[in-house]
Structure 1
């Protein structure tokens, strides 16, 4: 059997380890448009990490180590959103993504603490190391989710006993509550975990009966838009999908993959490592119109992304940039470049892509995103600029070594401090 492990309210559970006063009360971890990496005075708390890997594991972390007032209060306004709410808080209707101001209006006694991502990252890494000693195959899916394969290791009749023991040991060793789902398919195991929460175990042996009455939008990978599309085709529950095989197969690979996952016949393996397909950084910011300040922030984000790419020794060929405006409109652009990677190259490309993407130059921007993909062998290059490209690449490598030793902010572009 395959299993899916999901830490319950991970961030707030982690904070409760440091501060037991947060236990058994409505509490939450909040976040905001990253007031740190754009600070002109310098910010040494941000770190780049590659210890954890997975489809949704970020690689840029920081510890806030500050107070609610210093982090969330700006003038007379309370900024930020709820990242993770305790189950005690959820009973009052407090949810992830809700503004902190709205959450406090619902429950004024709610305790909201600033995030400490390096700390969460470290706990996640320790848990992964522990799981790898207990389970033959472990896949990290996100910072708080893992898959495991018990096939040929634990007999099916002993699965429940093993999982209860594992859950208890994690609680005792890490002080973290965790929910576990089990099934022959990894995606049914993940679905089962949602029925095990909080701090429970759900084992699925009869997939057809299990999925029969579950709304389709609860399945991993089926978003609201696709769910509406299926609803128009009279498919409302996961159980309805079995008799729609021809429809899903007509959608080729995506449809066939989803059909098999829902029915638990996908037979997808546990991946102990993920070939990296892309790497990026995104930041939500308070509404901002000043384009010169936005360019400064694009350069800062480029510096952090370049550092990540250099540490991983990657050579991207595609570069992407996207903008989200305060009226919810989005714009994006991309570019293909075959040159040895360096920080200046990335900075120049992202500034160019930002200018091309900015189709509403007089509107407020609330989110900036950049990424790189389609990595290639570093032997591929543009012969006309090769000499200068290699010079810049070697300079970037030296910069990376300095930042490894003294911190990501030790070297900056001059415009960052203006």
Structure 2
């Protein structure tokens, strides 16, 4: 055992990032081996032209098929493409088996989505060298679950994530901090984990086109452009990441919400809808700060006699926008409120997933609409960040006949 311990750092950590390859498609192939080797795509509403590709096999990717591509376009690129509707119960079950297997090697497993997670194997040296443990995990996932994976091995979470992306499918990559200048710095900044197209465009305005450019920028300049997040991204670009693998982190992300105790027992529907709008705005702001989306909205109503009810609405796709959250909460209120005085309202968004991992099944119309709203939402978010979340509120339509009476907006205490 002591002989194996010398392959582990004295003071540092050994982190694995396990990333399943084309997870949904791979699960379907595991259940139906006749699909192996075929160009396969998972799509919402596959029977309709407006359906959207959620994920696809590597055989399908060879034809240029990508996530969020409309079905009609994918079929044009590959007429013999096999398209299946998503079966989320099947995928959740496979995910549970996957993480159960990972926990056989260490209790320090942090799921970050249905198909990927971090492992801290620093204290698992009795099981073998880090590369041997990673290879055993990869082999067992393939043999026992019939699911391919790529695994990154590194001294921290960021480098492990970058390493797992370097070889797909079935990659096994070690990335040491001393290799960052030669391996990561020449890459385009858009290839860095945590940087999307919008952030890359902002960095381009600063003359930053590679990860090395980001690593060299001064803290003041990057903070001016991206805030504290920019400083964190610069640290990652230098191979620095102090985040621990936290098994409880996923539990913290299971829900995001806000509640408000009203200044008086409220019986006016219009006033309650205004409160819901505020709660939806604040919940959406928290989702965006955390970089997550949710697909279940729960409304909490506490009456003046302290009787409390919770009602839940399952959405067709993960969301982060206040309008979607408010619409669901509004429907719940109009359906379940009994008309008595309300003391407290709360909105909670559950079934949380990271934005990058959210499999949003949009038809073409809603996809185009979301794109159109993007600029407006960015403008509103910028104003709220500068002047406070309450500076802008969207209008609330009354279901009562006539124009609603003027009155003061409830302004309660956040709980």
TM-score by length of 2: 0.60
Contact 1:132 1:138 in 2 (8 A): yes
Determine the C-alpha separation between the residues in 1 that align with 2:127 and 2:238.
Answer: 20
Deviations along 1:86-137, one digit per CA (max 9) or x if unpaired, are 0011001011111111111111101001110011001101111111111241
**Structure 2: gaps spanning 5 or more residues:** 1-13, 258-293, 296-314, 319-323, 337-343, 350-364, 382-392, 399-412
| Distance change (3 Å), C-alpha of 1:257 and 1:81 | same
Residue in structure 1 matched with residue 372 of structure 2 by the alignment: 329
Corresponding residue for residue 234 of structure 1: 207
Judge conservation of contact 1:124–1:144 (CA < 8 Å) in 2. yes
1:191 maps onto 2:156 in alignment = no
Within 2, Cα distance between the matches of 1:101 and 1:188? Answer: 38
Aligned with 1:211 (options 184, 191, 197):
184
User: What does residue range 18-33 of structure 1 map to in structure 2 within 5 Å?
Assistant: 18-32=31-45
- Whether the 8 Å contact between 1:28 and 1:86 is mirrored in structure 2 is yes
Choose the corresponding residue for 1:248, options 206, 222, 235.
222
| Offset of residue 195 of structure 1 | 0.6
Aligned to 2:232: 257
Q: How many correspondences in the alignment?
A: 281
Distance 2:237 2:397 in 1: 38
Cα distance in 1 for partners of 2:331, 2:168 equals 36
Partner of 2:102: 131
Distance change (3 Å), C-alpha of 1:257 and 1:155: farther
Query: In structure 2, how many angstroms separate the alpha carbons of the residues matched to 1:92 and 1:357?
Result: 47
Contact 1:185 1:261 in 2 (8 A): no
C-alpha separation in 1, matches of 2:128 and 2:182? 20
1:17 aligns with: 30
Q: 1:93 aligns with which of 58, 64, 71?
A: 64
Deviation at 1:252, TM superposition (A): 4.7
Q: Distance in 2 between matches of 1:317 and 1:300?
A: 12
Distance 2:331 2:66 in 1: 29
Q: Does 1:147 align with 2:118?
A: yes
Which string of whole-angstrom CA distances, capped at 9 and with x for unpartnered residues, describes residues 33-72 of structure 1? xxxxxxxxxxxxxxxxxxxxxxxxxxxxxxxxxxxxxxx3
| C-alpha spacing 1:325/1:108, structure 2 compared with 1 (3 Å) | closer
| Matched residue, 1:112 | 83
What aligned pairs does 1:72-87 form with structure 2 within 5 A after superposition?
Answer: 72-73=46-47, 77-87=48-58
What is the deviation of 1:253?
2.3
Partner of 1:224: 197
Aligned 8 A contact 1:138 1:146 in 2: yes
Give 5+ residue unaligned stretches, structure 1: 33-71, 286-293, 307-314, 335-352, 359-374, 381-418
Whether the aligned pair in 2 keeps the contact of 1:184 and 1:264 (CA below 8 Å) is no
Question: For residues 74 and 114 of structure 2, what CA distance do their matches in structure 1 show?
Answer: 25
Q: Which moved more, 1:108-117 or 1:247-256?
A: 247-256
CA distance 1:302–1:191, shift in 2 (3 Å):
farther
Q: Residue 278 of structure 1: which of 249, 256, 264 is its match?
A: 256
TM normalised by structure 1 equals 0.60
Query: Cα deviation per residue 1:323-346 (whole Å; 9 max; x = unaligned)?
Result: 968544337799xxxxxxxxxxxx
Q: C-alpha distance in 2, partners of 1:256/1:316?
A: 37
C-alpha displacement of 1:357: 8.9
After superposition, what is the alpha-carbon deviation per residue over 1:337-383, rounded to whole angstroms, capped at 9, x for unaligned? xxxxxxxxxxxxxxxx996399xxxxxxxxxxxxxxxx98xxx6xxx
Q: Contact 2:105–2:121 (CA<8 Å) still a contact in 1? A: no
* Residue 237 (structure 2) pairs with residue 266 (structure 1): no
Helix, strand or coil: the match of 2:131?
Answer: helix
Query: Alpha carbon RMSD of aligned pairs, Å?
Result: 3.6
Residue 316 to residue 211, structure 1, CA distance change in 2 (3 Å) = farther
